[in-house]
Amino acid sequence: MLKYTSLKEKDLEYLTFILRNGMVTAKQLMLKFQEPNIHRVYRRLRKLEDKKFIKHERIAHKVGVYLGTIDARNLTNVNVTVPTKASIYTMQHDLLLTDLVLFYEFQAKNQGIEFKYRTEREIRHSVIGEGDNQSKLKAYNAKRDRIPDAVFFFKSAEGKVTTTWVELELNKKERKRYDEKFKFFDELLSSERLEDQPYSYDQVIYFADDVKIHKVINEAKQRFVNANKISVRKIPSVILEERWEEVMPNGSIDGSAGGSETD
């Protein structure tokens, strides 16, 4: 228990996860913290919402998402940009990225590999820094193509770390955009580290389900020296079909079973 506050350590862990990922669902929180049931998650979320540390939005009258607030960022000192609202596109993009994080986190645990990640919101905050909203937006728009959707770090049993630039592509872009992006990737993957980048990268992975996106990426990358370091993969079916029991470290999940109360 934390002294001088009614918040518990788990409350801060929830807030940190929500802030880092932009917006999350109750189901994702249940998976991340391997809670015994969804009711435990909702109870904690109601507590945090009452204290104005999170807000709940329902997108398209269907998907309920939780977003962190400035108060939550001030409390936790998590250096991220904080979303003010959720649209259908940003919701779909953010939630699928969080699913990818959970998928690789569970898979790494099962395989005995160390997995860490940084989100676009964390990297964006470090790149654009402080200032008023208008100047920060201007700085972001100038650099948005040089900020990944996420960075995944895989550390093998031998201690070798593979740093991966991750892109989640929901819509196909014009070929010209890919040519410009891959020219940057070619430079990125040829260098120990570019001046405006926080990391040196070993590979780039695109995640996309549309075969047209796969085709244009595979065609566009062939012009460059580092084509073999750029790949495109389908979003794992475990994510799309909600078959999380196949990758969960304990082998199963239970969204309804009871559990002892330790809140």
pTM: 0.89
Provide the pLDDT confidence category of residue 140 given band limits of 50, 70 and 90: low
Percentage of the chain surpassing pLDDT 70? Answer: 88
Domain 1-84 CATH assignment equals 1.10.10.10: yes
pLDDT in tens, 156-200: 989 999 999 999 999 999 989 999 999 999 999 998 888 888 899
Domain boundaries, the chain: 1-84, 87-245
pLDDT digits (tens, 9 = 90+) for 59-83: 877 789 999 999 999 999 999 988 8
Q: What is the DSSP string of 24-81?
A: E-HHHHHHHHT-S-HHHHHHHHHHHHHTTSEEEEEETTTEEEEEE-HHHHHHHT----
Per-residue pLDDT of 2-58, as tens digits, reads: 666 788 999 999 999 999 999 999 999 999 999 999 999 999 999 999 999 999 998
> Residue 234 and residue 217: Cα distance in Å, rounded?
13
